[in-house]
Structure 1
Amino acid sequence: MSSEEDDLAAAWGAALEEEETAGAAAPTVAPDAARVLNQAEIDSLLGFENEADGAGGAQSGIERMIRSGLVSYERLPMLEIIFDRLVRILSTSLRNFTSDNVEVSIDSIASQRFGDYLNSVPLPAMLAVFKVEEWDNYGLIVVDSAMIYSVVDVLLGGRRGTAAMRVEGRPYTTIERTLVERLIGVVLKDLGEAFAPLTQVDFRFERLEVNPRFAAISRLSNACVLTRLRVDMEDRGGSLQLLLPYATLEPVRELLLQQFMGEKFGRDSIWETHLAEQLRHTEITLDVVLDQQVLPLSTILSLRPGDCITLSAQPSQPVRLQCGGVALFQGEFGRRETRPAVRISNVLRAPESVL
C-alpha cells in the first residue's frame, strides 16, 4: 500500500512541475491588450469629439499633430484695427451705393498660404485683382455668387422680400461684371480711407477674373492675410473676401505691428526732452585753424624741439573754427585786452533742429 501511495505522489509531483514549466514559458497577456476601441474613444483620439460638441475646447490626439504642421504667421494688431475701421466705412458707403439697409461684419481674419486659398475658393465667383501703387504689389478681392446676384438684384430694382434668383452654369454677363466692378471700386476706395490714418495708400483696380488660376498674384507657398466680410442687405447678401499677401504689407510692417494708432516703438518723449537739454549743456572744444599746409613726411619726421613752422596766414585773413574736423564758423582773429580772440563773422553749417 505504501508503494502505491509513493507512485501516486510522484505522479502528482511530475504533473505540477509540467504546469509550472508551461506557465513560465507562456507570455504574460494583459487583460486589456486585445480590447478593441469603441467609436467614442476613436473620435476622442482623432479630435472629433470637440467639433461635435461645438465647445471649441482643447485639441487632442491626431488633430493636434496635424495642426502642428500648419504655419503660424506674425500677428499684426494694427491690421485688425484697420479692418474694423473698414467695416464702419463700408457699411455707410454700401448704404449709399445700394440705397438699401446694409450691414457689414467681419467673419474672420486668418493667415493662410496663397495656394491653399486658391484651391478653396467657392466657385462660381468673381476675383478682382487690384494693385497697391505705393507698395508696388497686388491684392485680391473675391465676391461670391450670392453677393453678385444680390448686388445685381438691388441695383436693377429687384423687389424686396424675395431672394435673388440665381442662374448657375453660365458665364457672367457684361451687366453683372460692370455692376461688380462698381462694387469693387467702392470697397477699394473705402480700404484706402481705412489705411489713411496709418499711411497714405491708393488701391487701383486692375482686372476681373472668374478663374482662380488667372488671379495668381503671389507664389503658391507665400503667406497671406485673409479677411472674410459678411454683407447683409435685409433678406439678401453675400460675402466678400479680402486677400493681402504678407509681401504686399511688408513696406508698412513696422506700422502694422503697433498696438494702437501713433504708437512710437523705442521712443519716449520725456527722455528725448531730457537728452536734448543735456546736449545743450555739453562742453565741446572749438579749434581755430589759422593755416593749413601740406608738407612731406620726411619734413615732419625731421622736426625737432625749437624748429619753427612759418604760417602763410595774413593778419586780416579770416580763420575757421571747427569741432572734430567739422567746420562750424568763420571769423576774424585779433585780441581782446591781453588775450587772443576770434570774432565770428559767418556760420558755415546751418543749425539742425534738436529732437
Structure 2
Amino acid sequence: MGGPLDDQDDDLLAAEWAALAEGDAGGGDDDFASAGGGGETGGAPARVLNQDEIDSLLGFDDGSAGASDGSGIAAIVNSALVSYERLPMLEVVFDRLVRMMSTSLRNFTSDNVEVSLDNITSIRFGDYLNSIPLPAMLSVFKAEEWDNFGLLTIDSALIYSIVDVLLGGRRGTAAMRIEGRPYTTIERTLVERMVHVVLGDLSAAFDPLSPVTFRFDRLETNPRFAAIARPANAAVLARLRIDMDDRGGRLELLLPYATLEPVREILLQMFMGEKFGRDSIWENHLAGELWYTDVSIEATLEETPSYLREVLAWEPGNQVIFNCTPESPVMLRSGGVTMFKGKVGQRNNHIAVKIESRTQKD
C-alpha cells in the first residue's frame, strides 16, 4: 500500500537523480575546460569563433559579393602571381613609351600634353575586368608577330578631354560629361584615332627589343566583350596618366603574360641604359683578346682506315703502307676542322708546310 511515506521517498529519489545529472554535466564541462583550455586564466570558458569570424578568416564575406578576394586564406592563394619585376626590360620599354607618347600626343592634339607612368603591377585578368570603372572604352589590339592580344582602356575623363581638345574646346573649362548615355560615333572615331597613335608608339618602344606590330582590332564599351584571356590568367598592367593643362585622364595598358611569352627570354635580360642587354665595352674586350688565343695546328699527310682487330694484332716490325708521295698535299687542321692545304718541305733544318689554299667551308 502506498501512502505519504512512499510519496516522500519518490520525491527524495527524484531529487537525488537530478543532483547526479547536474554533477555529471558540471564534471563534463570541467573536464573539457581542463583538457582544451590550458591557456585560459581564471577559469574563463574557451573562446570559440562564430560563423562570421570563420567566414572572414577564409575570405568568404557574403556582404561583399563581387568584390575581389583581398583578405583571409583566399588572399594568400590569389597572391601567387608572377611579378613584373622578373622582367626588368619591360620597365625600360614602358619608359620609352612614355617619352614617345608625350611627343606623339602633342602633335596629335596640338596642345601641351604630359604623359606619366603611375605604376606597373601584376593582376589576374578577371580581377582587372571587374575593377574597370565604367563608362570606359576598351580597345582590343593584336600583336601580329606574337599572335596574341592586348587591351587598352581609356577612362571617361580622358575620352571627354580628347573630344574637347580635338573639337576646339576652350581652355580653362572642364570637359562636359553626360553620363548614362552611349558614346557617339564622333567620340568613338576620335578615340580610335588616339588609340592608333598609342599603338604606333608601343610598337616603336618594343622595336629595339623585338620587332612587333600592334594592330587595332576593335573598340568595346562592355568589358565582357573584351575578354582576351581566361579570368585566372596573369597579366601586366601599366597605368598611364595623361594631362592636358587642366584636362586629362587615365590610360591603362594590359598585356597578358601569354602575349609576352615569345620575348620572355629577352625581357629577362639585364641592361645598360637603353642598349637592351648589349655591352659594347665587353664585346670589344672579348674581340681583342680572341686574337691572342693559343690554337693548336695539326699537319696530316695521309690517313688510312683500319679495323680494330687489325690494330690490336700489330706487333713490332709490322708495316703500315700509306698511298702518298712527297708531292701529296698536307692538311692543316685545328680542333678536327680542316682549314688549309699545303706542301711539306724543310726550312732552317725544320720540317715546314707551305700553305697553298684555304679549305672551303660546307
Same fold judged by TM-score > 0.5? yes
Mapping of residues 306-325 of structure 1, within 5 Å:
306-325=317-336
Q: Number of matched residues?
A: 306
Deviations 1:114-163 (A, max 9, x none): 12212222233221122223433321101122222222222122333443
Of 268, 283, 294, the residue aligned with 2:305 is 294
TM-superposition CA deviations, 1:204-232 (whole Å, max 9, x none): 22222223233222232221111112222
Task: Verify the 8 A CA contact 2:135 2:221 in the aligned structure 1.
Answer: yes
Return the alpha-carbon distance in structure 1 between the equivalents of residues 192 and 320 of structure 2: 82
Q: 1:128 to 1:342 in 2, by over 3 A?
A: same
- The correspondence for 2:343, drawn from 325, 328, 332, is 332
Percent identity between the two aligned chains? 54
Instruction: Quote the residue 1:106 is aligned against.
Output: 117
Q: Is the 8 A contact 2:241 2:249 kept in 1?
A: yes
What is aligned with 1:71?
80
User: What is the rounded CA distance, in whole Å, between the counterparts of 1:64 and 1:337 in structure 2?
Assistant: 88
TM-score (norm 2): 0.70
Pick closer, same or farther for the CA change 1:135–1:319 going to 2, 3 Å: same
User: What is residue 261 of structure 2 aligned with on the other side?
Assistant: 250
- On the 8 A contact 1:128/1:209 being kept in 2, the answer is yes
> How has the CA–CA distance of structure 1 residues 212 and 281 changed in structure 2, closer, same or farther, with 3 Å as cutoff?
closer
Deviation (angstroms), 1:282 = 2.5
Tell me the TM-score normalized by structure 1.
0.71
Shift of 1:30: 4.2
2:152 aligns with 141
Aligned match for 1:127, one of 138, 141, 161: 138
Structure 1, residues 7-62: CA drift from partner, whole Å, max 9, x if none?
A: xxxxxxxxxxxxxx9xx9666974695799xxxxx9xx99xxxxxxxxxxxxxxx9
Name the CA distance, whole Å, in 1 between partners of 2:288 and 2:109. 56
Partner deviation per Cα, 1:159-179 (whole Å, 9 max, x = no partner)? 334433334444433322221
| Cα distance between partner residues in 1 of 2:97 and 2:319 | 78
Asked if residue 280 in structure 1 is aligned to residue 292 in structure 2, the reply is yes
State the one-letter code of the partner of 2:76.
S
Deviation per CA, 1:57-114: give whole Å up to 9, x if none. xxxxx94755433124231333234323322332232222122332322333210011
Q: 2:218 aligns with which of 207, 217, 241?
A: 207
User: What per-residue deviation string (whole Å, max 9, x for no partner) do you get for residues 315-355 of structure 1?
Assistant: 323221223422121101233365433211122268xxxxx
Paired amino acid for 1:73? V
Change (3 A) 1:33 1:182: farther
Contact 2:141 2:215 (8 Å CA) reproduced: yes
Q: Does 2:103 align with 1:92?
A: yes
Report what 1:17 is aligned to.
Answer: none
**Residues 228-263 of structure 1, C-alpha deviations (whole Å, 9 max, x = no match):** 122223343221110011222234334434264337
Please say if residues 327 and 349 of structure 1, whose CA atoms lie closer than 8 Å, have aligned partners that are also in contact.
no
Q: Note closer, same or farther for the CA distance 1:30–1:125 as it changes in structure 2 (3 Å cut).
A: same
SS in 2 for 1:280: coil
- Superposition RMSD in Å: 3.8
Match of 2:167 among 149, 152, 156: 156
1:287 to partner: Cα distance: 2.7
Residues 78 and 260 of structure 1 are in contact (CA less than 8 Å); yes or no, is this contact kept in structure 2? no
DSSP-derived class of the 1:152 partner? helix
Q: Which of 329, 337, 359 matches 1:348?
A: 359
Residue in 1 aligned with 2:230? 219
Could you tell me which runs of 5 or more consecutive residues in structure 1 were left unpaired when the two chains were aligned.
Answer: 1-20, 37-41, 47-61, 351-355
1:191 aligns with 2:202: yes
2:351 aligned partner, one-letter code: P
Structure 1 CA distance, aligned partners of 2:290 and 2:120?
47
Instruction: Tell me which residue corresponds to 1:13.
Output: none
